[in-house]
A and B are shown apart, each in its own frame.
Chain A
C-alpha cells in the first residue's frame, strides 16, 4: 500500500470510529467492513491492523479493555483522534 493510500485508510478508519457513538468499540473485522462507504471495500485485515496500531500509538484511538477474549481487540476514537480528523478534513 502506498503512503498516500495508507493516509486515506487511516482517515477512513477515524471516520468509521467517529461515527460510532455507542458504548461499544469496533473490532478489526467490523472496521474492515465499515470502511467500505469511505472508499475501502473490504480492505486487507493486516493492512487495517497495521494502521489501527499506528493510530493507537499516536493516541488517536483507544483500545477497549476486554477481560474475556482480549485477543479480539476493539477500539474507540479518542479526543485527540477527533481533533486530528477535524484538522485533516478541514472541519
Chain B
C-alpha cells in the first residue's frame, strides 16, 4: 500500500538543514527525481506540495537577501545623516524593499545561469542582459532616493554618497 503524501507543513516542520538539503537537491534534479529521493528517505510528498514548498523557500531566500541589502543601505544612510528619524529610515527601507522585490529575480536568474554558462563559455550575452537589469534596478533605487529627498530628511551630500555607492555595485 502506498503511503499517504505529506502535506507541505510536514516539509516545513523538518529541521532547517534537511529543508536546505531538499532545496539543494531539487536545484540540481527534476521534481520527480526529488520526489523519489525524498521517498528513499521515508518522506512521501506530492509534486504540487513539493513545488509550493520549493517556491516559498525561493521567495523567502530572495526577500531575506533583499532585506539584508536594504539594511546595509539604511545603516549607511543613518551614518551619513544622524538627524534621520527611525520612522523615516523605516519608510525609506520599505520603499527600497518594495522596489528590490521587483528587480532581484532577474539578478538571481543571472547568478544561476552564470554558473552554467561559465562552463559553456556563453557568458557575454547574459552579462549584457544583467547589466541592463542592474541599470534598471539602480534607476529605480535612484528614483526612490529622489522621492525620499523630496519627502525631507535626506541631504544632497547623503544622496550623492549613496549614488556613488550604487555605481560601485
Q: Contact at B94–A24, with CB atoms within 8 Å?
A: yes
Q: Name the residue of chain A whose CB is nearest to the CB of B148.
A: A68
Q: Which A25-55 residues have a C-beta within 8 angstroms of B? A: 25-27, 29-30, 33-34, 37-38
The answer to whether A90 and B91 touch (CB under 8 A), given A26-B101, A68-B151, A69-B147, is no
Report the tally of A-B residue pairs with Cβ distances under 8 A: 80
| Interface 9-mer from B17-25, B30-38, B63-71, B155-163 | B63-71
Asked if B122 lies at the interface with its beta carbon under 8 angstroms from chain A, I say no
Could you mark each residue 42-81 of chain B with 1 if its beta carbon is under 8 Å from any beta carbon of chain A, else 0?
Answer: 0000000000100111111001101100100000000000
CB distance from A61 to the nearest CB of B (A): 15
The binding surface of chain B is classed by DSSP as helix
Q: Contact at B7–A90, with CB atoms within 8 Å?
A: yes
The answer to whether A22 and B66 touch (CB under 8 A), given A68-B151, A89-B9, A91-B8, is yes
Q: Contact at B7–A64, with CB atoms within 8 Å?
A: no
Q: Contact at B7–A69, with CB atoms within 8 Å?
A: no
Count class of interface residues, chain B: 20 to 34
Interface residues of A (CB under 8 A from B): 15-16, 18-27, 29-30, 33-34, 37-38, 64, 66-69, 72, 74, 86, 89-91
Q: Name the residue of chain B whose CB is nearest to the CB of A26.
A: B101
Please, how many angstroms separate the alpha-carbon atoms of A24 and B90 in the complex? 9
Candidates B59, B91, B102; contact of A68 at CB < 8 Å: B91
